[in-house]
């Protein structure tokens, strides 16, 4: 592939925090020219979400905003907003925004205003709670959506323990992914018709999307799922076990894998036990089976069990911490950690390749207003 698939696409990112910047990061990785717009004099608050810092900028900002150009605009200044409008009309294919509800519209940068000027424009709104409904104007952040969207209710050791947040911004980043999917779909449609579109995604809808499994179970049964630690309510054995020296995740997700597991453990009889003969029966007799398996796994170390289970095709893995993931040979083989041109600070790559080629690292995150002159060609007042 001589050129990245989104080469030539121009995206204006009216975004802050994580959701819109992650969508912009993906589009930039795919080859688009992404221009990040920050509030003049304020900037994206993620710039100070540290330590750690790279210079005076939080490393998390560097990670989510690399590969982009950057300008500052005062949305209360009509001349500056007019300059941004001209930039969008003359150059942009896509506008991506996750400003506070109503802020883009008040500034004259909402979908209706901009698409009236440029009907071919694809405009993606990233809401907190959605485009409609009683909560549509409320602000929202990832942990709020993990709580309100039900994710915290099925995460953690048990309902008797304090609620636990998933340790990454899974809702923010998931919403960014849905934004990219929607934008790519709208681009396909524009290629057929020439018309742009308004794409709407939200953190809340993303959280509900992640909850498809437990929500579907509840809608079918009327039973409210709860947390299951490292396990699953509908599959056994499918959880972490203590070994002689560490921990091991085992995922015997069907009867065939369970039979192989029992053979590897030297307990082929367990697969013939009427209590454990099918997944449904294993779920019904979870406690008894987990106790038996737990005793067996504690007799040997994690590496030894990993090798034994891999040899018979049973999915199993040691629990790696962040340092383990960063230093893993598989991580290196995939090229998932690299550096930007002129910057020795390691960065995590996008999890996507084309024709065996990892999407390249292009440039560091922009300093505030770094590209005002180059991009706006002096249209903004000094």
Contacts of 351-355 spanning 24+ positions with Cβ under 8 A: 352/29, 352/30, 354/1, 354/4, 354/5, 355/1
- pLDDT, position 379: 53
- Answer whether CATH 3.30.1540.10 is correct for domain 238-242+247-318: yes
Is the previous residue joined to 52 through a cis bond, with omega within 30 degrees of 0?
yes
Ranges of residues in the chain whose predicted pLDDT is under 50: 380-382
* Cβ 239 vs Cβ 289: under 8 Å: no
Decide the pairing of beta strands 197-202 and 353-354: unpaired
Cβ neighbours of residue 353 closer than 8 Å, sequence gap 6 or more: 359
Structure confidence at residue 341 (pLDDT): 86
Q: Of 141, 228, 183, which Cα lies nearest the Cα of 13? A: 183
**Residues designated as active site:** 172
User: Could you tell me the residue ranges of all domains in the chain?
Assistant: 10-210+337-376, 238-242+247-318
DSSP 313: T
Write the class of the CATH domain 10-210+337-376: alpha beta
CB 123 within 8 A of CB 199: yes
Which residues are CB-contacts of 188 (< 8 A; sequence separation ≥ 6)?
Answer: none
List, for residues 198-215, the tens digit of each pLDDT value. Answer: 999 999 999 999 999 999
Does the pTM surpass 0.75? The reply is: yes
Residue in this structure with the two tokens 């992640």, named with its chain if needed: 210
Cβ neighbours of residue 116 closer than 8 Å, sequence gap 6 or more? none
* DSSP-assigned states of every residue in 22-68: HHHHHHHHTT-EEEEEEETTT--GGGG--SSEETTEEHHHHHHHTT-
Q: What is the DSSP string of 331-360?
A: HHHHT-EEE-TT--SEEEPPS-EETTEEPP
For the stretch 314-371, pLDDT in tens is: 999 999 999 999 999 999 999 999 998 888 889 999 999 999 999 988 899 999 999 9
């Amino acid at each position: 592939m001589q050129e990245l698939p989104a080469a030539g696409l121009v995206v204006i990112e009216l975004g802050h925090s994580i959701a819109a910047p992650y969508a912009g990061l993906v589009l930039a990785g795919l080859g688009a020219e992404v221009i990040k717009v920050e509030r003049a004099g304020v900037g994206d608050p993620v710039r100070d979400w540290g330590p750690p810092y790279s210079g005076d900028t939080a490393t998390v900002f560097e990670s989510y905003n690399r590969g982009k150009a950057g300008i500052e605009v005062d949305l209360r200044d009509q001349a500056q907003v007019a300059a941004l409008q001209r930039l969008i009309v003359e150059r942009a294919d896509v506008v991506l925004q996750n400003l506070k509800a109503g802020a883009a519209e008040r500034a004259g940068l909402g979908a209706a205003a901009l698409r009236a000027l440029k009907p071919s424009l694809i405009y993606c709104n990233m809401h907190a709670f959605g485009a409609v409904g009683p909560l549509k104007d409320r602000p929202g952040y990832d942990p709020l959506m993990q709580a309100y969207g039900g994710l915290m209710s099925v995460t953690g050791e048990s309902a008797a323990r304090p609620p636990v947040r998933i340790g990454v911004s899974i809702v923010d980043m998931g919403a960014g992914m849905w934004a990219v999917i929607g934008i790519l779909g709208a681009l396909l449609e524009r290629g057929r018709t020439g018309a742009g579109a308004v794409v709407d995604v939200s953190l809340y809808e993303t959280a509900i999307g992640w909850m498809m499994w437990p929500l579907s179970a509840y809608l079918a049964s009327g039973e409210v799922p709860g947390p299951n630690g490292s396990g699953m309510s509908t599959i056994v054995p499918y959880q972490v076990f203590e070994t002689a020296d560490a921990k091991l995740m085992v995922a015997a997700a069907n009867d065939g894998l369970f039979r192989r597991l029992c053979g590897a453990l030297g307990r082929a009889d367990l697969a013939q036990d009427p209590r454990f003969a099918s997944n449904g029966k294993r779920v019904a007799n979870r406690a008894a089976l987990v106790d038996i398996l737990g005793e067996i796994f504690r007799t040997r170390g994690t590496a030894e069990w990993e090798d034994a289970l891999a040899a018979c095709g049973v999915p199993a893995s040691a629990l790696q911490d962040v340092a383990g993931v960063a230093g893993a040979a598989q991580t290196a083989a995939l090229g998932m950690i690299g550096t930007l041109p002129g910057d020795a600070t390691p960065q995590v790559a996008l999890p996507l390749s084309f024709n065996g080629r990892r999407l390249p690292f292009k440039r560091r995150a922009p300093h505030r207003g770094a590209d005002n002159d180059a991009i706006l060609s002096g249209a903004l007042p000094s």
